[in-house]
Amino acid sequence: MSNTQNNKQKEIIFFKSVSSVEKYNFFEYLSVMVDSWVTISDALDSVLARIKNPFFIEKIDELKTYVNSGDSFSKSMRKVPQIFDIWEVSIIEAWESTWMLVEALQKLSDDLKRTSELKKKVKGALTYPIIIFLFLILAVIIVLSYVIPSLTPLFETAEVELPAATVALIGTSNFLINNYWYIIFVVFAWIVAFVWYRSTPEWKNKINNILLSTPLIGAVFQNYVLSNISASVWTLVGSWVNIIKALRLTGKSTGSELYESLFERIIEKVSNGKKIVESMEEVDSQGRYFPLDFLQMLSVWEKTARIEEISKKINAQYTREVDYSLANLTKWIEPIAILIAWTFVLWFAFAIFGAILKVTQTVN
């Protein structure tokens, strides 16, 4: 690729990210090409012709340059950390040493596809309740901003003592109308503070504990993390990555600061000669993060040395648990949303009809 083409690409790159779908398609297509006895360099050329993402094209072109300079594929990947994380590099590195690159690429593709589908499932299930609550908030704002102000003059001219519900409703409406710029500023400040604070380890640990403690959501979060843990162990150990390195990479792959810190403590105990399940039980004595059934299944593969097979079964079970947890969550979301909506409707009805009744009694 010429410098002119590179410059053109750099000019149009606005979003420097690569989706998991693009990555698993990349690994899958590369495995097919390498399996057909095409060299890595030629295979990367062929892949470049299929990629649409300018940022991905730029980085794969860099990868090809490193490969052509004589570096191994895993070493070349390590030099492009914006695209390939240490977990993916370790798998390729382990399989490269056994001359089984095709299997490594296919394994990565399958694992990324499985993780992507699970994420998509979780996001899809949570989109529905989020939309419901956003519409509820919008409806409340419209009522308080437009409907209540049009009715307020009718009650003020009647010169009667209004019910408490009516006074509260009018007061809320007036506060919203008179302070909307202040409210917008506060909301914006909260969002900025949230975005900044969420990157700190302290916040990540807190939010993980909150998620685990929240009814319905806690089950989804924990099952999702345990599914990822079992998938990572299955992939890494099946790729002959040593157990200490596999545990460290598994902790990082959870995407949870809390679980990553737990795995660091587990690694410390395993390095001192303790078994993995025993270390997990000591680190989590109350069974809050690693439930009993999860530890029981792990103890089976420790005793039988069938790590890859048992991890695959654990992953399948907890993927099903995620589906069940999501179904349970969405089943409860609708009645909760209806309850909140009816609470506001009843407040509105009591406030308006109570005021009308007071005005009518006064006139009579």
Long-range contacts of 55-61 (CB under 8 A, 24+ apart): 55/13, 55/15, 55/16, 55/17, 55/18, 56/18, 56/22, 56/26, 56/83, 57/9, 58/6, 58/9, 58/10, 58/13, 59/18, 59/83, 60/26, 61/1, 61/6
CB contact at 8 A, 93 and 38: no
pLDDT per residue, tens digit, the chain (364 aa), is 444 344 444 445 556 778 888 888 888 888 888 888 888 888 888 888 888 888 888 888 899 999 888 888 888 888 988 888 887 887 787 777 666 778 778 878 887 888 788 778 777 777 877 788 888 888 888 888 888 888 788 777 767 777 888 888 888 888 888 888 888 898 888 888 877 776 666 676 777 777 788 877 788 888 888 888 887 777 777 667 788 888 888 887 777 888 888 889 999 998 988 888 889 989 988 888 888 888 888 888 777 767 777 777 887 888 888 888 878 877 787 788 788 888 888 888 888 888 778 777 766 5
Q: How far is CA 239 from CA 99, 115, 177, in A?
A: 12, 18, 62
Domains identified in the chain, total number:
2
Whether residues 24 and 132 share a domain: the answer is no
Give the global pTM: 0.65
| CATH number reported for the structural domain that contains residue 356 in this entry | 1.20.81.30
Q: What is residue 1's predicted lDDT score, i.e. its pLDDT?
A: 44
Residue 92: inside a domain, yes or no? no
Residues 162 and 230 in one domain: yes
Structural domain range at position 205 = 111-364
Q: Is 28 within the bounds of a domain?
A: yes
Q: Does residue 159 lie within any of the structural domains?
A: yes
Distance CA 209, CA 202 (A): 11
215 and 332 together in one domain: yes
Q: What is the pLDDT of residue 97?
A: 64
